[in-house]
Amino acid sequence: MLQDTTTSRMKPAIALEGISKTFPGVRALSEVSLALYPGSVTALVGENGAGKSTLVKILTGIYQPDEGSIRVDGAETHFPTANAAAKAGVTAIHQETVLFDELSVAENIFLGHAPRTRLGLIDWRRMNADARALLARVGADLDPSIRLRDLGIASKHLVAIARALSIDARVVIMDEPTAALSHKEIHELYELVDRLKADGKAILFISHKFDEIFRIADRYTVFRDGRMVGEGLISETTQDDLVRLMVGRDVGQVFPKQDVAIGEPVLTVSGYRHPTEFEDIHFELRRGEILGFYGLVGAGRSEFMQSLIGITKPSAGAIKLHGEIKVIRSPAEAIAAGIVYVPEERGRQGAIIGLPIFQNVTLPSLSRTSRAGFLRMAEEFALARDYTSRLDLRAASLDQDVGTLSGGNQQKVVIAKWLATRPKVIILDEPTKGIDIGSKAAVHAFMSELAASGLSVIMVSSEIPEIMGMADRVIVMREGRIAGRFERAELTAEKLVRAAAGIEEAA
């Protein structure tokens, strides 16, 4: 409590006021404000696509806001480049630690501001010594001269934090820092955050995990659909309040889940394993069922799904489709067998930006729309028209480049592409990540219709409301293994979180 009264009296280290940012087709942020105080941890919460990452990019000078002001110590400033933000003492530690694999640990810490000798040359001896000292401060026992690529993900994180300390950052942004860490490492990170706080740093902590928000944050700010919808002291709020602010409604109401009679088993997976990514995966998927796969980011769900369709090869395991053993060595074979995967990374793995909408939709189904290897445009347009209208796509024309569509509409094109292959099993990997509320609802409604029409759906999602609202059954994965199985009736958010984080029920 003492902390709270001091922070409220203090001036913010950095304050954003009335920030707006629009991308073609999407208003990412509208008139948001945020103040970060020295010696205080502010948790930024919001669903995926709420505008958190855009805000981080504005704070670090990667994006420039369309409107609004940034004040550092009360003085209005601009961050035209990443360098300008770094000079002002703002640094970010990202989900995927963006550092240099081929450079040494010390250099990763000091790149851009290395200690120099009197001749202006880089002073490696001092750099290594300083790096050692910084690493000691974050509690990492690492040799500063080894290459970064030889470190594990947790150690890389510590290097990133040491870098933040090295530029004497006054504002530290931590973007889901615990997503890929083990239980023990997470606790070490908490201690580190406490130390940074004691050093007087202003910390912005972005997380999806409520237990850790209540463990380390002093203040909170909630974003929804690009707007700031609430802020205050953590000590004066509850988990339920935060969730309500985040989702803007009571969970369960808006999900258009249809009651579907679950039929016979369609897909049986047994003994799936991979040397480094996952092991012991076995489950059954039935007709008309939506099977949710929940877990933290990096739990191995996408990796497993991609091995199901032949992108990576499992070291062991078997698939049965309608009781018949299938060997799938490539996505082409998966499509032929009737198993399709709508990937998580829409821009990289899903949409083919540069090709028109109709060509995106027909690509996996070309053998059906063509004759003897020759394209038939009329058939292509017919197929594309059929499936895009079912998904309520908003576009000017079907020969428009998919790259000109909003994220939500791109996702509709990608889903249409896969449905046009007339699959038996559809795997949707984070189907509503980063898309607007309207498109989300359309995707959810459509998912329900699919199940009702007799398809079997696997839905990989990291959003608890989505999982709870849509899935008939849930499998939770943690560190490449199945950590829990739940029927819809017995599902609670707490059970999911506990299984995903590896916290024992009794504890």
Partner 1 sequence: MKVLLKNREMLLVVAIALLVALIALRFPPFVTPRNLANVYNDTSILIILALGQMAVILTRCIDLSMAANLALSGMVAAMLNAAMPGLPIPLIILVAMALGAVLGAINGLLVWKLDIPPIVVTLGTLTIYRGLIFLLSGGAWINAHQMSDAFKALPRTAFLGFPLLSWLSLVIIALMVVVMRLTPPGRAFFAVGGNPHAAVYTGIDVGRTRFLAYCLSGTLAGLSGYLWVSRYAVAYVDIAAGFELDIIAACVIGGVSIAGGIGSVGGAVLGALFLGVIKNALPVVNISPFAQMAISGTVIIIAVAVNARAEKRKGRVILRKAEAAHG
Partner 2 sequence: MAETQMVARHIPDRLEGRGARLVKSWETLLVAVALAIFLVNSFASPYFLDPWNLSDATFNFTEKAMIAFAMALVIISGEIDLSVASVIALTSTVMGYAVQLGFDTPALVLIGLATGLLCGAFNGLLVTGLGLPSIVVTIGTMSLFRGLSFVILGDQAFTGYPASFSWFGQGYVWWVFSFEFCLFLALAILYGVVLHKTNFGRAVYAIGNNQTAALFSGVRVGRVKFVLFLLTGLMAAVASICLTARLGSTRPSIALGWELEVVTMVVLGGVNILGGSGTIPGVVLAALIMGMVTFGFGLLNVPGIVMSIFIGLLLISVIALPILYRRFRGSR
Which residues make up the interface to partner 2 (CB under 8 A)? 309, 311, 330-332, 334-335, 341, 343, 348-355, 358-359, 363-364, 366-367, 370, 373-375, 381, 385-386, 388-390, 392-400, 417
DSSP code at position 347: I
Nearest distance from C-beta of residue 280 to partner 1, angstroms = 10
Q: Of 229 and 441, which CB lies nearer to partner 2 in the complex structure?
A: 441
DSSP secondary structure, 158-203, as one string: HHHHHHHHHTT-SEEEEESTTTT--HHHHHHHHHHHHHHHHTT-EE
What CA–CA distance (Å, rounded) separates 415 from 434? 15
Q: Of 394 and 481, which CB lies nearer to partner 1 in the complex structure?
A: 481
- When CB distances are held under 5 to 8 angstroms depending on the partner's kind, the choice from partner 2, partner 1, none that residue 374 binds is partner 2
Q: Of 199 and 277, which CB lies nearer to partner 1 in the complex structure?
A: 277
Q: Which residues, in sequence order, are bridge partners of residue 474? A: 292, 486
Q: Of 312 and 389, which CB lies nearer to partner 1 in the complex structure?
A: 312
- When CB distances are held under 5 to 8 angstroms depending on the partner's kind, the choice from partner 2, partner 1, none that residue 238 binds is none
Is the CA virtual torsion 132, 170, 180, 350 positive or negative? negative
Nearest distance from C-beta of residue 358 to partner 2, angstroms = 7
- When CB distances are held under 5 to 8 angstroms depending on the partner's kind, the choice from partner 1, partner 2, none that residue 358 binds is partner 2
Which single residue is written with the structure tokens 């909170």? 220
Nearest distance from C-beta of residue 454 to partner 1, angstroms = 34
Nearest distance from C-beta of residue 104 to partner 2, angstroms = 26
The length of the chain in residues reads 507
Nearest distance from C-beta of residue 276 to partner 1, angstroms = 4
Residue 300 contacts residue 278 (beta carbons within 8 Å): yes
- When CB distances are held under 5 to 8 angstroms depending on the partner's kind, the choice from partner 1, partner 2, none that residue 103 binds is partner 1
Residue 16 contacts residue 33 (beta carbons within 8 Å): yes
- Both tokens of residue 475? 């499998």
Q: Which residue type occupies 131? A: A
How does strand 171-175 pair with strand 90-93? parallel
For partner 1, the binding residues (CB under 8 A) are 60, 62, 81-83, 86-87, 92, 98-103, 107, 111-112, 114, 120-122, 124, 152-153, 182, 275-279, 298-300, 303, 312, 479-481
- When CB distances are held under 5 to 8 angstroms depending on the partner's kind, the choice from partner 2, partner 1, none that residue 353 binds is partner 2
- Rounded (10°) CA dihedral 429, 435, 440, 446: -50
Nearest distance from C-beta of residue 99 to partner 1, angstroms = 6
Residue 97 contacts residue 180 (beta carbons within 8 Å): no
**How many other C-beta atoms are found inside a 10 Å radius of the C-beta of residue 489?**
7
- When CB distances are held under 5 to 8 angstroms depending on the partner's kind, the choice from partner 2, partner 1, none that residue 389 binds is partner 2
Nearest distance from C-beta of residue 134 to partner 1, angstroms = 16
Q: Of 20 and 182, which CB lies nearer to partner 1 in the complex structure?
A: 182
Residue 390 contacts residue 379 (beta carbons within 8 Å): no
- When CB distances are held under 5 to 8 angstroms depending on the partner's kind, the choice from partner 1, partner 2, none that residue 311 binds is partner 2
Q: Of 97 and 456, which CB lies nearer to partner 1 in the complex structure?
A: 97
Q: Which residues, in sequence order, are bridge partners of residue 371? A: 374
- Both tokens of residue 316? 């062991």
Q: Of 102 and 490, which CB lies nearer to partner 1 in the complex structure?
A: 102
Q: Of 26 and 351, which CB lies nearer to partner 2 in the complex structure?
A: 351
Nearest distance from C-beta of residue 406 to partner 1, angstroms = 24
Beta strands in 24-77 (DSSP E): 26-36, 40-45, 67-72, 75-77
Nearest distance from C-beta of residue 45 to partner 1, angstroms = 24
What CA–CA distance (Å, rounded) separates 344 from 478? 18
What CA–CA distance (Å, rounded) separates 369 from 377? 8
Q: Of 131 and 414, which CB lies nearer to partner 1 in the complex structure?
A: 131
Q: Of 35 and 72, which CB lies nearer to partner 1 in the complex structure?
A: 72
What CA–CA distance (Å, rounded) separates 258 from 222? 31
Q: Of 318 and 352, which CB lies nearer to partner 2 in the complex structure?
A: 352
Report helix, strand or coil for 500. helix
- When CB distances are held under 5 to 8 angstroms depending on the partner's kind, the choice from partner 2, partner 1, none that residue 121 binds is partner 1
- When CB distances are held under 5 to 8 angstroms depending on the partner's kind, the choice from partner 1, partner 2, none that residue 397 binds is partner 2
Helix, strand, coil % (nearest 5) of the chain? 40, 25, 35
Closest by CA position to 17, among listed 64, 70, 66: 70
Nearest distance from C-beta of residue 353 to partner 2, angstroms = 6
- When CB distances are held under 5 to 8 angstroms depending on the partner's kind, the choice from partner 1, partner 2, none that residue 437 binds is none
